[in-house]
Structure 1
Amino acid sequence: MCGRFVDPNLRGTEFEHSELRIDPIPRRFNVKPTQDVLLFAKPELVAYYARWWLVPSWYKGELKEWKATTFNARIEEAAQKPTFRAVWRHGRCLIPAGAYYEWTGETGAKQPHLFSAAGNEETLWFAGLASRWNELLTCTILTRAANADVEAIHHRMPVILNAEERDAWLGGTEETDLLGAETRLRHHPVARFGMKDDGPELIEPAE
């Protein structure tokens, strides 16, 4: 799964342009579900901010009453799930991240680990789905079975796309079994931190 991540550093990249017309959020190192996150969607990779916890457009209740855990969606099942079925066809997006966290150990003494790109590209591009509920744009991060770089820490991982896979995902491919399977990641333990903690020190290797 993916329950916390680090905002991407897009300065100096093709995505840092004034014409995106987005209000900058100071970079965060402990992004949590229900917070606003940056995503890119077609056409032409337009940038939006969306609430990270998807609410389907057909939901008629109050936001606080939506109890389903929908900040992640399993890519193996999303196309068939009523919550995600429509946005699987029409709401595909990319959610950039600088890194993400997973935990090991027992409740009360869990050890966080930071996962980041092992290659030259710093940004991790998560496959996402976006849903507009009333006037609120919401999103979810897709997950898949962990590959060899992740499985020692957790059995699931975000679907992290390379450039070719990003085009295929946004283009509507239904051949999703291997998306993100070859992603190369590195990880290291970091100091334990709380829900409200933030700052670059969170990603430093634990002593």
Structure 2
Amino acid sequence: MCGRFAQARMREDYLSYLADEAGRDIAYDPEPIGRYNVAPGTKVLLLSERDEQLHLDPVFWGYAPGWWSKPPLINARVETAATSRMFKPLWQHGRAIVFADGWYEWKKEGDKKQPYFIQRADGKPVFMAAIGSKPFERGDEAEGFLIVTAAADQGLMDIHDRRPLVLSPEAAREWMRQDPGGKAAEKIIEDGAVSADNFTWYPVTRAVGNVKNQSSELIKPIDNPAA
């Protein structure tokens, strides 16, 4: 699954992989985003395409349509999202990208759960597939978005059986285009998903469990995770 992630670099550090300045309607901001512990139920910078340009909007992380009586969902399974009653409209018309430095997963070790930070081994940004309820620019908390997850593969299975669906920059750009239909979006995923051998992971401080903690220390490896 994906329940926490880091989105801390400057916007340009992510956007430069996806489109030049002519392809965006996004103001330049020299300040780092600085969020090392992004949690559900908060507004997150979400990338989407409108009028053939990229837009960046603060959107509520969580999705609960009017008929849904339970707490908002934060993830959608790639295996069923394209066909489910709840997610099919979002899959067809509300595809977006969440950029990040990496994400956290918790692994049970003994009687405790140890958090791990997972990132690309080459240090490049992570582009997570998302779906949500448009229009994203409205800025309210109606419905919102979800991060699409896939089954973990290779060594990532040792941490958790699910992981965010991470796309290459080229596939991420295609994912956001509104022209492809649902089947075409499935092809984009098939060709552009980033495999587990492109990631590295390591234990981090349990302080990440508190959403109030936002320090860069959260993504630093620790020497003694059992302590």
Q: TM-score, normalised by structure 1?
A: 0.83
C-alpha displacement at 1:46, in angstroms? 0.8
Are positions 1:188 and 2:226 aligned together? no
C-alpha displacement at 1:167, in angstroms? 3.1
From 135, 157, 166, the equivalent of 1:160 is 166
Distance, in Å, in 1 between the alignment partners of 2:122 and 2:46 is 22
Distance, in Å, in 2 between the alignment partners of 1:36 and 1:107 is 34
C-alpha displacement at 1:136, in angstroms? 3.2
2:186 alignment partner, SS class: coil
From 174, 185, 199, the equivalent of 2:186 is 174
C-alpha displacement at 1:45, in angstroms? 1.4
Instruction: Kindly indicate whether the alpha-carbon contact (under 8 Å) linking 2:108 and 2:114 is maintained by their aligned counterparts in 1.
Output: yes
Distance, in Å, in 2 between the alignment partners of 1:92 and 1:181 is 18
Distance 1:102 1:14, change over 3 A: closer
Match of 2:15 in 1: 15
2:148 alignment partner, SS class: strand
How many positions carry a matched residue from both structures? 200
Distance 1:141 1:107, change over 3 A: farther
Instruction: Kindly indicate whether the alpha-carbon contact (under 8 Å) linking 1:159 and 1:180 is maintained by their aligned counterparts in 2.
Output: yes
Distance 1:170 1:144, change over 3 A: same
Instruction: Kindly indicate whether the alpha-carbon contact (under 8 Å) linking 1:42 and 1:170 is maintained by their aligned counterparts in 2.
Output: yes
Q: Which amino acid aligns with 2:202?
A: H
Instruction: Kindly indicate whether the alpha-carbon contact (under 8 Å) linking 1:149 and 1:185 is maintained by their aligned counterparts in 2.
Output: no
Structure with more helix by fraction: 2
1:20 alignment partner, SS class: coil
Distance, in Å, in 1 between the alignment partners of 2:167 and 2:128 is 6
Q: TM-score, normalised by structure 2?
A: 0.77
2:92 alignment partner, SS class: helix
C-alpha displacement at 1:149, in angstroms? 4.1
Are positions 1:41 and 2:45 aligned together? no
C-alpha displacement at 1:92, in angstroms? 0.2
Instruction: Kindly indicate whether the alpha-carbon contact (under 8 Å) linking 2:11 and 2:32 is maintained by their aligned counterparts in 1.
Output: no
Instruction: Kindly indicate whether the alpha-carbon contact (under 8 Å) linking 1:4 and 1:32 is maintained by their aligned counterparts in 2.
Output: yes
From 61, 67, 71, the equivalent of 2:70 is 67
2:170 alignment partner, SS class: helix
Q: Which amino acid aligns with 1:13?
A: D
Q: Please provide the CA RMSD for this pair.
A: 2.9
Match of 1:5 in 2: 5
Distance 1:45 1:12, change over 3 A: closer
From 91, 102, 107, the equivalent of 1:104 is 107
Q: Can you give the 5+ residue segments of structure 2 that lack an aligned partner in the other structure? A: none
Distance 1:74 1:22, change over 3 A: farther
Instruction: Kindly indicate whether the alpha-carbon contact (under 8 Å) linking 1:5 and 1:32 is maintained by their aligned counterparts in 2.
Output: yes
Percent identity (aligned):
31
Deviations 1:131-188 (Å, cap 9, x if unpaired)?
Answer: 1499436110000011224112111110000023213322432324565252511000
Distance, in Å, in 2 between the alignment partners of 1:26 and 1:170 is 22
Are positions 1:200 and 2:222 aligned together? no
Distance 1:155 1:136, change over 3 A: same
C-alpha displacement at 1:98, in angstroms? 1.1
Match of 1:27 in 2: 34
